[in-house]
Amino acid sequence: MVKMVVIPLFFIAALLCSPSSRAADFCVGDLKGPTSPAGYSCKDPAKVTVDDFVYSGLAAVGNTSNLIKASVAPAFAAQFPGLNGLGISVARLDLAPGGVIPFHTHPAGNEVLIVLQGVICAGFVDTANKVYLKTLNKGDTMIFPTGLLHFQVNGGGSLATAIVSFSSSQPGLQLLDYVLFANDLPSLLVEKTTFLDDAQVKKLKGALGGTN
């Protein structure tokens, strides 16, 4: 009899203590308040409306007239407050012919990419330096695990569009090229750590706005 009582009580306690057990239905982000790795503080529930749960920023093709010939329109907590605290977010990718999303990483979220139109060559590299590379067509889906360097390149002759989703409302983003060449990290250190020569480093810094 004791065992029959203890086991149900154990499962009830586990459910009450699980991450899915929440005191509130949602936590719409208060964008006027401070943010932290955990997200934004909650907006006053009395001021929450249906518009907090609707976002139209992914409807239009983005501007691809830039160095990488690509556009990324994020719908993270900062753009879509209703996502705050839910552990999800989305973004739209548009790649013109020749467009590329350079090697980058999302330190706080897994990524799922779904191709809506065009052809995208995508891949990632794991911590053993194994390359996972695939040419994706309309309707194809690919996963990029948290923290691993990955990229997307337009693999066709027309506009390519994809929707990506993340397992975080703030997945974070670091672009490798920008980490190396778009700041004031001394060129000498970049040369030593990348094995590039001075002319190459200065050319890339000039293209991406880096100094020093």
- 33 among the known binding-site residues? no
Classified as helix, coil or strand, 170 is: coil
Q: Which among 72, 78, 15, 24 has a CA at the least distance from the CA of 46?
A: 24
Q: What CA–CA distance (Å, rounded) separates 12 from 169?
A: 29
Listed in sequence order, the residues at least 6 apart from 99 whose beta carbon sits closer than 8 Å to its beta carbon are 64, 68, 69, 70, 153, 154, 160
CB 99 within 8 A of CB 130: no
Cα angle 87, 92, 93 (rounded to 5 degrees) comes to 125
How many helices (DSSP H) and strands (DSSP E) are in the chain?
4, 12
Amino acid occupying residue 172: G
How many whole angstroms separate alpha carbon 36 and alpha carbon 75? 18
User: Is 93 flagged in the annotation as binding?
Assistant: no
104 labelled as ligand-binding? yes
d(CA 41, CA 34): 7
- Binding-site residue numbers are 104, 106, 111, 150
Q: Mark the binding-site residues for Mn(2+), compressed into ranges.
A: 104, 106, 111, 150
Annotated binding-site positions for oxalate: 106, 111
